[in-house]
Structure 1
Amino acid sequence: MINKLWLSSTIVLLGLLGSCSDDLNDSDFLAGDLFTDSNIRVVLIDTLTVNAATVKFDSIITSTSDRALIGQYTDPVFGTVRSGTYAGLLPNSYTIDTEAEFDSIVLFLKYDSYYYNDTTNTNTIHIKRLIENFDPDENNAFYNTSSVAYDDTDLGTLSYTPRPQSSDSLEIKLSDDLGLEFFENLQSKIITNTAEFTNEFKGIALLPGTDDNGSVIGFSKATTDFYLRLYYSTAGETDRDQSYTDIILNTSDTPNPFFNAISATDPVDYLQTLTNGELSLSSDDSDDKTFIQSGTGIATKLELPYLKTVNNVGGQGTLLKAVLKITPVLGSYTDFLSLEDYMSVYLVDKNNDITSQLYNTDASTVTAFLNTDNQEYNDIYYEIDLTAYIESILTTDLNSDQSLLLIPEDFSNTVDRFILNGTLNSSTKTKLELTYAVYDEEN
């Protein structure tokens, strides 16, 4: 019965090839003599089986992120979304004038324009001193699930209303005790190199408040944007001469001692069943929905199990176009919880391990782009051109265990989340549309 599902497909007669749409005329299809000398019909098949599910990777690498992500908010579906940054630091100079006197120490953080959720609410940042070394795992990387122990005492704290689109920097005054420690060790030459500094000072954690319900904010990792500044001065003839030493992100160690610890706790019950990366949560078991969340490793998996049944349409055929359409759940996105314009498409094996990114025949990457042409009618959907991929399945013995994986392009660099429709509701379901030319050889 399953192998005959194509028979129930919606088949629309579009007419002879000469009356096809511009999209078909612009396709890569080349008609040979056999095609042009035959009776031709072009059909649209849009009810081939698509299986939609949600998966969650055990962890994702965040040490290569180009931003620090700090903040916390409560999501009605994904739970408490939280991100903190762990960073190792090094001074840009180990020399301080012997006549200088300590003034203060300040942490500077510059916005990089990224934010997620409501920025009108207050955020809090707590600065903690790390008390153990960064210890990368066997893959020589740090993940969203990595951790480094820290002292509970705040080195500094700041409550602020984010302005992520501005060019401003946050300034957080830190403990004078920390500043004096740095100042005296550098001035007296107790610390003169990287190894001595990192032995005494492991780094900092920048953590949101445990009761915050605001937004996750992105800060630049550039050494001119994220740094501690140690201020000191020396007596001049009339005034004091101000000087400073910057303590910047450690980029000399491999891997760099940096990562964003990103989590989402207490999500809806069915998301809590994703306890390891090999599990798949069918949309049939999650209110006909699938889910995506950057930073925590949640992604949507799509299986196309019966594509080869298209060959049973009769006669000889050629695939002209294949488009997968996936509709976001109405009401699941807002100005604060926005949709991305593009998402990436990967191939995964039966264990949900990524095997490769999906490419077109011209070596460009296959993407899911947000079609908003009819947005005023709440008709928006992600559209994926799978023509080259499906043609390869129909004409070769491609591994049938492969599935498609849909994730945002900045999967390790953001906390964006999406809720997509599954396959049960006829008006909103995820569906594959195949435009197929069928022709019969004349006797």
Structure 2
Amino acid sequence: MKFKYLFLLLIIGTGSACTKTDILFKDNTNTADPNITYWDNYTVALSTYKLDTFATTGDSLFVIGTQNDPRFGRINALSFAELTVPTENPLWEQRVTYDSAAILLQPNGNYYGDTTRPFRINAHKLTENIGIDVSASTTYYNPAKTGYDNSLLGSYTGIVYPGRKDTVRIKLADDFGADLFNQIKNKSAVIEDQTTFRNYLKGIALVSDSNYSQAVYQFAAGTGLLRIYYTLRGQYNEKKFLDIGYTASKQYNHLGYNYAGTPLASFNPLKSQLTESSAMDRKALLNNYIPSYIKITFPDILDVKQAYPYVKVIKAALEVRVNKQENTAPFTLPPGLVMYISNLNNEFSSVLLQPGSTDAVQNGNLVINDLEENGTKYTFDITSYINTIIDEGRFSTKSLFLCPYSTGYKTYTSRLVVTDQPNDSDIKLKLYVLGL
């Protein structure tokens, strides 16, 4: 039945678009049943809901970069990590010489911004420990930040290819690398255990240079974050390396924001806030790096009961049209979105499932159609939800939230701007109502 009604939506005229103050309860369909009424643009109210803080610990994910977004402002991401004392020592009592040292990062394919511009990452030594001890019980929430030395430990400048996932190599200063090499080679007291090692080297900060960076990238580290290259001397010299890992629970990211000059300008970066689109230049904003979600309500939905003693919504489709002017290069569309059902306190209680399913989550079924005006869109079947809030009546406290497919900052980049112009919102509710 789903495809039947979607087909009907394509052949039915759109002349019945309604506004909040003037809803026309009249038959405007081409269906054979005179008891079925169709509205192609029922009243939708949009708001932007921004969270206050979120955990960035233990993801084994390095988020680094700077992005200036005309709608979301400036986002600056940097990462911190505590290195782990080597568990093996292949340098001890060996004829070895130091070659170089580097931080190794591999893009995981996710990014936010312009990847064609040069990118610079600077490495610095931390000036304070991450946490007060070596325990793994602490969770770090944005905007936590650890102090680091302004002196440059090493840097990388070049193009990052997130699709190819080519490793980024940050060459470190020779005096730093050689000293670390000698501490391990000589089996000094600083590598006795994690406590002594973190006192010697508190950790690493990885910071982007905003003069170069126009994108935020996500990186992963393999068996080691820091690699020491050396030569094993013998009849035939061998080039080798030693990897030094990091403590996952002592690795976290910091995301800083500057909303000046954007629709988010009235938001406090450290406070949870809800603002209607009318106060945000008729915009509603979704971004998992902020993170911000789009709240959707239907303030006049109970008015459908005024026309008939018995009312049942037989089809309710929520269309999220992609506004080409607001969602253009270098930004990419999220491949999937989800709808959460919330309570009065904007707390998620459940997720919107496929009709008739007990576990299949709706993802918006993104359709890309650049040949047709407003042809690219996400669509959600919210028939059951609409009938529920009609049945609950004026006591209903439910709302819908349009969110990234995963609500964490660490997934693929989800950025979407929708406009909420009177009579022409990018989010439209299409209703088929049976009235008897």
CA gap of 1:273–1:44, structure 2 versus 1, over 3 A, is same
**Aligned mates of 1:389, 1:381 — CA distance in 2:** 20
The answer on whether the counterparts of 1:52 and 1:300 sit within 8 Å (CA) in structure 2 is yes
Mapping 1:208-223, distance limit 5 Å: 208-221=208-221, 223=222
Give the partner amino acid of 1:230: I
Alignment gaps of 5+ in structure 2? 1-19
2:365 is equivalent to residue 392 of structure 1: no
CA contact (8 A) 1:53 1:300 kept: yes
SS for the counterpart of 1:164 is coil
- Report if the CA contact (8 A) 1:263-1:296 is conserved: no
**54 and 265 in structure 1: CA distance in 2 versus 1, 3 angstrom threshold:** same
Alignment TM-score, normalising by the size of structure 1: 0.82
Distance in 2 of aligned mates of 1:380 and 1:9: 29
Deviation at 1:156, TM superposition (A): 0.4
Q: Which residue of 2 aligns with 1:260?
A: 253
- 2:114 aligned with 1:118: yes
Amino acid at match of 1:56: K
The answer (yes or no) to whether the contact 1:60–1:295 under 8 Å persists in 2 is no
Q: CA deviation at 1:367?
A: 2.9
Q: 1:351 to 1:44 in 2, by over 3 A?
A: same
Tell me, yes or no, if structure 1 residue 141 matches structure 2 residue 114. Answer: no
SS in 2 for 1:142: coil
Distance, in Å, in 2 between the alignment partners of 1:110 and 1:236 is: 33
Distance 2:278 2:171 in 1: 52
The one-letter code sitting in structure 1 at the alignment partner of 2:431 is L
TM-score (normalizing by structure 2):
0.83
From the superposition, tell whether residues 409 and 200 of structure 1 become closer, same or farther in structure 2 (CA, over 3 Å). farther
Aligned partner of 2:429 among 414, 432, 437? 432
> Alpha-carbon deviations, 1:23-75, whole Å to 9, x = none?
xxxxxxxxxxxxxxxxx622213444321011211122233546322221322
Confirm whether residue 59 of structure 1 aligns to residue 57 of structure 2. no
Matches for 1:23-38 after TM superposition, within 5 Å: none
Partner of 1:324: 318
Give ranges in structure 1 of 5+ residues lacking alignment: 18-39
Which has the higher mean CA deviation after the structures are superposed, 365-374 or 125-134? 365-374
With over 3 angstroms needed to count, the CA separation of the structure-2 counterparts of 1:396 and 1:356, relative to structure 1, is same
2:162 aligned partner, one-letter code: P
Distance apart, 1:375 and its partner CA: 4.2
Counterpart for residue 376 of structure 1 = 372
1:72-87 correspondence to structure 2 within 5 Å: 72-87=66-81
Say which SS state the counterpart of residue 280 (structure 1) adopts. strand
- Is the CA contact (8 Å cut-off) linking 1:61 and 1:412 kept in structure 2? no
| Contact 2:121/2:156 (8 A) holds in 1 | yes
Contact 1:333 1:339 survives alignment (8 Å): yes
- Kept in 2, the 8 Å contact 1:73–1:82? The answer is yes
Asked whether the equivalents of residues 14 and 42 of structure 1 are also in contact (C-alpha less than 8 Å), the reply is no
Q: Partners of 2:262 and 2:217 in 1: how far apart?
A: 27
- In structure 2, what is the Cα distance between the partners aligned to 1:355 and 1:64? 26
Q: Which amino acid aligns with 1:8?
A: L
Task: Name which of structure 1's ranges 396-405 and 193-202 shifts more when overlaid on structure 2.
Answer: 396-405
Per-residue deviation, residues 341-376 of structure 1 (Å, max 9, x unmatched) = 311222334443444433345222233343334643
* Counterpart in the other structure of 2:331: 337
2:24 paired residue number: 8
Report the counterpart of residue 283 of structure 2 in structure 1.
Answer: 289
Equivalence for 2:38: 44
Q: Which residue of the other structure, out of 273, 286, 305, is the alignment partner of 1:311? A: 305
Aligned to 2:357, which of 335, 355, 362? 362
Contact 2:110 2:413 in 1 (8 A): no
Contact 1:14 1:43 in 2 (8 A): no
- Letter in structure 1 aligned against 2:194: T
CA distance in 2, matches of 1:108, 1:425: 51
1:68 aligns to what? 62
Moved over 6 A (4+): none
Equivalents in 1 of 2:25, 2:426: separation in Å? Answer: 15
Residue 3 (structure 2) aligns with: none
What is the CA–CA distance in structure 2 between the aligned matches of 1:157 and 1:110, rounded to whole Å? 15
Q: Which residue is 1:240 aligned to?
A: 237
Q: Residue 420 of structure 1 corresponds to which residue in structure 2?
A: 418
Q: Partner of 1:273: helix, strand, or coil?
A: coil
SS in 2 for 1:305: coil
Q: Percent identity over the alignment? A: 24
Native 8 Å contact 1:110 1:167 kept in 2: yes
Q: Tell me which residue corresponds to 1:152.
A: 150
Tell me: CA distance 1:7–1:51, structure 2 relative to 1, closer, same or farther (3 Å).
Answer: closer
Write the deviation string for residues 280-311 of structure 1: whole angstroms up to 9, x where unpaired: 22111222111122212122111223333333
Q: Confirm or deny that 1:104 pairs with 2:90.
A: no
CA distance in 2, matches of 1:373, 1:102: 57
**Shift, 1:273, TM fit:** 1.0
Q: Which secondary structure does the structure 2 equivalent of 1:395 belong to?
A: helix
Residue correspondences, number:
404
